[in-house]
Amino acid sequence: MSDATDPWLIVGLGNPGPDYAANRHNVGFMVVDLLAERIGGKFKRAQKAQAQVVEGRIGPPGPASRRVVLVKPMSYMNLSGGPVTALRDFYKVPTDHVVAVHDELDVDYGMLRLKLGGGDNGHNGLKSMTKSMGPDYHRVRFGIGRPPGRMQVADFVLKDFSSTERKELAFLVDRSADAVECLLAEGLERAQSAYNS
């Protein structure tokens, strides 16, 4: 059972390398990059896993502050579970203190949904994490909507956000980072009522 002093593992899901950096599938990386910026940390290679990490604290100084490890798996999306589980074990993080930030096809663009546990909905990063450590981790689901027309899902998620979407993207990434901070500071129910749209 976790308690308030346990660290949190905040995992941005995405694919490594400049070719993928602005893809819809990489919005998890964008959110943890912003969180790292907020706490004044720089990602460095993890010793114990194929990932980049930043350690720090989120929240106001004092008892409300939460110890966090921000994570970007460098293993490609469909192999995210290995590095995440290795880091969870290394930092002794309870599974319910793991948060996956990821793109979500079944949520409209601009919408957020937070939840604990559940299925993977065909998302390869979640599928890999669930296979490695079970489903009982938090998810911050960043809506990207469904592909237009007959476009294949794989093509859609590996494309950059459209010019129209990019107008709002910085605001939405900022809002998602706020949602992660709210989840850690005030719990899932408060974060859901504030950010689930």
Active-site positions? Answer: 25
How far, in Å, are 30, 53, 59, 66, 192 from residue 186 at the CA level? Answer: 23, 24, 10, 11, 10
How far, in Å, are 108, 124, 134, 141, 154 from residue 180 at the CA level? Answer: 19, 21, 21, 11, 27
- What angle separates helix 188-195 from helix 163-186, to the nearest 10 degrees? 150
Q: Are 157 and 103 in contact (CB under 8 A)?
A: yes
How is 111-144 classified by DSSP, letter by letter?
Answer: -EEEEES---TT-HHHHHHHHHH-S-SEEEEEE-
Q: Which amino acid is at 151?
A: M
Give the helix/strand (H/E) hosting 12: strand 8-12
Q: Which amino acid is at 107?
A: V
